[in-house]
Structure 1
């Protein structure tokens, strides 16, 4: 039997959009509050902490690989690395194979900063998330990933689409 459910009214679409905008704003506020808290506790910004975590996860790595891993532009990653180097937490060096390639590694100070830094999302959030059924966590991750893709400027969506498809196959 064919589904004959009515199309949502224009008012319903506006209400859904307004609700979505409010929810995104609440998430942005929560991230901002957490970012300031992390900065107060560690002296590091959220992007600096993300880049340090990326270097730890990827090992001695190129700037472009960090850029892809943390979804930041290469110039932004370079600016973050400048600050991390000034703090003695990361070190850049040229590849011995191709002198045009610059690699980055953590220093002891960078490893120490990661060991003592709080979680990016906070323990309360992680505990509440862990209580959700796996299927709900997966659906939430897929929805947020899709939302992130949709919120990118149109010219950026093409480069992000393969990442989304890798998360959720068609």
Structure 2
């Protein structure tokens, strides 16, 4: 009987697992840079999580400006997560740095149970990363194609004028 109780206790301890201790984050961010080619702004964060004890979090959730979305997890390399953000206009994706709060399963569960803003702010995130967006550039006022057409027109006009002088 004691061995059955001990086996259940060991099974419960192993099933519960352990949490990630002192996570370290490495972030690569990619975002829309040319506003003339697209109507929307988009950004992607590639987050690598390394834990001191080697245990990786199962699922991460990202809080971006009050919107919580699940992070995609890489199948081929554990500890790598992806977040994609798309906005309807370039002005909705703020230029500069945006703090992205990351929540593991436990913290996300607590966050969902929170009913007030104060209770939501009291939930401790798993970690925080920074999204760096340099802003979308609208480029020069006159595009390079315009200058190419002007130069072509001037060359054609001067060749036509010289031809007229030779034939006259």
* TM-score, with length taken from structure 2: 0.23
Q: Which has the higher helix share?
A: 1
Q: Which has the higher strand share?
A: 2
* TM-score, with length taken from structure 1: 0.22
